[in-house]
Amino acid sequence: LNQRKHMMEHENSNNVPQAKTEMLTSRQINIIAHIAVGDTENEIAGKLRISPQAVKTEIDRIFSKIKASNRLQATLWVAKNL
């Protein structure tokens, strides 16, 4: 019985869902971290040396992935998951 219980626990440990941050690319994690500290799209673009349009596109993708509709929700997601 103990051996069976151990096997079941081992099987369950292999089925652990991916960490929520794994759904985001490293660039997206970087961008959402900037959002969480209040940086504007233009500030993020300047700091990351990418175009403001690229930042806007990534923010749209991030919000879709984390199911956020605004910066406050994204910031709360960061506080909970990063």
Residues 24-40: tens digit of each pLDDT: 999 999 999 999 999 99
Q: Taking residues 5-14, what's their average pLDDT? A: 47
Domains of the chain: 23-81 (1.10.10.10)
pLDDT tens digit string along 40-79? Answer: 999 999 999 999 999 999 999 999 999 999 999 999 999 9
Q: Is pLDDT of 5 > 90?
A: no
pTM of the model: 0.75
The answer to whether the beta carbons of residues 25 and 37 sit under 8 Å apart is no
Q: What is the pLDDT of residue 15?
A: 44
Q: Is pLDDT of 16 > 90?
A: no
Pick from 69, 72, 50, 73: nearest CA to 60:
69
| Integer CA distances (angstroms), 3 to 6, 7, 9, 16, 54, in order | 5, 6, 10, 21, 53
How far is the C-alpha of 9 from the C-alpha of 11, rounded, in Å? Answer: 5
